[in-house]
Chains A and B, each alone.
Chain A
Amino acid sequence: MSNSGTPLVELKDISIAFGGIKAVDGVSVDLHPGEVVGLLGHNGAGKSTLIKCLSGAYKADSGDVFINGEKVVINNPRDARAHNIETIYQTLALADNLDAASNLFLGREIVGPGGFLDDSKMEAETRKIMGRLNPNFTKFSEPVSALSGGQRQSVAIARAVYFDAKILIMDEPTAALGPQESEMVAELIQELKKQGLGIFLIEHDIHNVMKLCDRASVMKNGQLVGTERVADVTEDDILSMIILGKNPKESS
């Protein structure tokens, strides 16, 4: 359904090396509105590194990024945010000593007259969005270090969702969560998809990939093994791509 038209994001021929080791080597992936593309591969396959080139945490050595068909340059996280790219990092990237509202608005604070922070407005907004995402969340005035893993995750998700993301990058969003909370994240992904967001999902759990993703791009040793529509392949096909680094369709 979604492979027609201009892709929302197109990463073309991205390469980045650290100290002579090619972490990502000429990888191209794309993402359409309302689509979830899974990025798979072993640890160290280069998924997170690839995605950090899009989120602005790293700058690619070569290759181009296109958003809605237009070439853009992303030098830092601010550039990425300006293009409505939001990222939920595996580490969550929260400042543990700050409360939920301060984290949610970090780098994009609401300021009142005179340029002073409007903390009560930010807290009120945080209460609104947390009421939608995680109604059980009540610890608004405590530093996020006092929160449980699931609560911290919901702060990180709220941060990505609040600012009208068009492109969402989720790096193992359920890795630290229990089954119930994972289910909540799955529902959220479905809802965001309906709203027309494009989502890159880094995921290890093959069942989640089959359930949530429209397409899956598999990486191994920094290179792209292949991209397949999830509906067209079996779990075993994808697993063999991950493990053997070969696309079973091409060999047959």
Chain B
Amino acid sequence: MTDTSTSKAATKSPQGLIARFLSDTEIDTRLLGMLGALALIWGGFHLYGVIFNNFGAFLTPRNLWNLSVQTSSIGIMATGMVLVIVTRNIDLSVGSMIGVIAMSMGLLQVEVLPHLVGLGHWSIWIAAVICGLIVGTLIGALHGWLIAYREIPAFIVTLGGLMVWRGMAFLSAGGRTISPVDSKFALLGGGPYGAVGEVGSWIVGILACLGVAYIIYSGRKARVLHNFRLRPLWAEAFLALVGWATIIGAVLLVNSYPWPKGIVRQYGAKIGQDLEGTFISHGFAIPVLILIAVGIAMTILVTRTRFGRYVFAIGGNPEAAALAGIDTRWVTLKVFALMGSLTAIAAIIASARLNSATNALGTLDELYVIAAAVIGGTSLAGGVGKIYGAILGALVMQSLQSGMVLIGFDSAIQRIVVGMVLVLAVYLDILYNKRVK
């Protein structure tokens, strides 16, 4: 008798501790769930490699670095898809938009500008980027206008866009592949030269650590100012330490992935030194830094600005938003225009990484982007979604895919697994929400 009661108390108190820990640190349990899923996927693929191939290829600097680059393009679009889905819309056209935006940039920098300003001119990559952003924003704004002001369902408008823009991408160059892109433009896609190196990564890491400290400090100051409940000091310290450890860990990771020997030799020849055998770190890839910048900017936009608040209000109750004086149509148009700009950034990265523009670029991306947003906790019913969730969702999707490539699953099986994971993730989310209520 006494035995059972003590064991009950023993099992109960740690649960109480965990609950208290979570409420004190105010950590989102959904975030923990996603990190757990990620750990499971990473560990699983690594272990599979260890057992069946005698070599765990997943948890290596090289693979994780590549994974970070592969996640960038989907992750950037997923942050925009969060807003689209939060307003109870959908965008099926982003994959095709990538194709047409990449083609417009490719044609501009390979077939138009070199004749005007000369091959390799410094302004070419800037012009290409601006062109891509304008094309993407205009296409998105057109979708938004049709959806908000002409009241055509987003599903139909963007399903039409899926076909129209892919067709346009083909027609724009008669199906040719435009290659190679401008050499500076190519840096935006990553690669040994398209990374910021060891020192650069430390600078980024230190800035990020200062940022974490500032967020925690200013959050606490605002709570003190208004007499709100404070997080206990140990919880603040814990969050800061976890943040710093994650950042420093990431810096160490990207710095431990060296340039391949061939690139080192090539670089040595270029600067006229014998670098044979030198360890040159990649550091953070430029597309990853772009993803981080987009993630921060989108988080601020969503949580700290009127626009973000209105997007969520429209998703929660469109009628109430309109009665509160919000111009719901204009906000919807802006959401789709923003989706277009983010798609343009993704197109820049995708075509730079490939060092070419092809009309098939981005095929099926819309499904990965939607899946990333949904796995990241964005509700298709509208009104609920998180930017960091979508980026983590993109990382989960990309981890699954590149893990399967690594262990040699063919693409048919990859699709089966990704499809099943999507359904399972949404099902788990529904179960989670039911339990929370």
A residues whose Cβ falls under 8 Å from a Cβ of B:
55-57, 76-78, 81, 87, 89, 91-98, 102, 106-109, 111, 115-117, 120-121, 123-124
Task: Say whether B323 faces chain A, with CB atoms less than 8 Å apart.
Answer: yes
Interface centre among A98, A107, A115, A123 (most CB of B within 10 A): A107
What are 7 A-B pairs at a CB distance below 8 A? A57-B323, A78-B325, A93-B319, A97-B317, A97-B384, A120-B228, A123-B228
Q: Give complex CA distance A55, B325 in Å.
A: 10
Q: Give complex CA distance A172, B307 in Å.
A: 32
A133–chain B nearest beta-carbon distance, Å: 19
Contact between chains at B320 and A95 (CB < 8 Å) = yes
What residues on A are CB-neighbors of B322 within 8 Å?
57, 77
Task: Say whether B324 faces chain A, with CB atoms less than 8 Å apart.
Answer: yes
Besides A98-B316, A107-B321, A117-B305, 16 other A-B contacts (C-beta < 8 A): A57-B322, A76-B325, A91-B320, A95-B383, A96-B383, A97-B312, A97-B317, A98-B309, A98-B312, A102-B312, A102-B313, A106-B313, A107-B325, A107-B326, A117-B306, A120-B222
Contact between chains at A117 and B321 (CB < 8 Å) = no
Contact between chains at B309 and A106 (CB < 8 Å) = yes
Q: Given known contacts A77-B323, A81-B325, A95-B383, is B317 in contact with A102 (CB within 8 Å)? A: no
What residues on A are CB-neighbors of B222 within 8 Å?
120
What residues on A are CB-neighbors of B383 within 8 Å?
95-97
Of all chain B residues, the one with the shortest Cβ separation from A81 is: B325
A173–chain B nearest beta-carbon distance, Å: 16
B54–chain A nearest beta-carbon distance, Å: 50
Of all chain A residues, the one with the shortest Cβ separation from B317 is: A95
A176–chain B nearest beta-carbon distance, Å: 16
Q: Give complex CA distance A76, B324 in Å.
A: 10
What 1/0 mask marks residues of chain B from 184 to 226 whose CB sits below 8 Å from any chain A CB?
0000000000000000000000000000000000000011011
B residues whose Cβ falls under 8 Å from a Cβ of A:
222-223, 225-228, 300, 303-306, 309, 312-313, 315-317, 319-326, 383-384
The one of A77, A98, A120 that contacts B313, using a Cβ cutoff of 8 Å: A98
The one of A78, A91, A94, A120 that contacts B225, using a Cβ cutoff of 8 Å: A120
Of all chain B residues, the one with the shortest Cβ separation from A79 is: B325
Contact between chains at A117 and B225 (CB < 8 Å) = no
Of all chain B residues, the one with the shortest Cβ separation from A106 is: B324
Of all chain A residues, the one with the shortest Cβ separation from B86 is: A97
Q: Give complex CA distance A34, B2 in Å.
A: 70
Q: Give complex CA distance A247, B289 in Å.
A: 74
B367–chain A nearest beta-carbon distance, Å: 26
Q: Give complex CA distance A124, B224 in Å.
A: 11
Contact between chains at B225 and A107 (CB < 8 Å) = no
Contact between chains at A87 and B228 (CB < 8 Å) = no
Q: Give complex CA distance A56, B323 in Å.
A: 8
Contact between chains at B316 and A89 (CB < 8 Å) = no
Contact between chains at A111 and B316 (CB < 8 Å) = no
The one of A78, A91, A106, A111 that contacts B319, using a Cβ cutoff of 8 Å: A91
What residues on A are CB-neighbors of B323 within 8 Å?
55, 57, 77, 87, 89, 93
Of all chain A residues, the one with the shortest Cβ separation from B321 is: A95
Contact between chains at B306 and A121 (CB < 8 Å) = no
Q: Give complex CA distance A116, B302 in Å.
A: 11
What residues on A are CB-neighbors of B227 within 8 Å?
124
What residues on B are CB-neighbors of A123 within 8 Å?
226, 228
Of all chain A residues, the one with the shortest Cβ separation from B229 is: A141
Contact between chains at A106 and B320 (CB < 8 Å) = yes
B433–chain A nearest beta-carbon distance, Å: 12
Q: Give complex CA distance A77, B324 in Å.
A: 6
The one of A57, A93, A107, A121 that contacts B226, using a Cβ cutoff of 8 Å: A121
Contact between chains at B306 and A97 (CB < 8 Å) = no
Q: Give complex CA distance A120, B316 in Å.
A: 21
A214–chain B nearest beta-carbon distance, Å: 27
What residues on B are CB-neighbors of A92 within 8 Å?
320
Q: Give complex CA distance A115, B306 in Å.
A: 8
A87–chain B nearest beta-carbon distance, Å: 7
What residues on A are CB-neighbors of B384 within 8 Å?
97
Q: Given known contacts A115-B305, A116-B305, A117-B306, is B324 in contact with A97 (CB within 8 Å)? A: no
What residues on A are CB-neighbors of B223 within 8 Å?
120
Contact between chains at A109 and B313 (CB < 8 Å) = no
What residues on B are CB-neighbors of A78 within 8 Å?
325
A63–chain B nearest beta-carbon distance, Å: 21
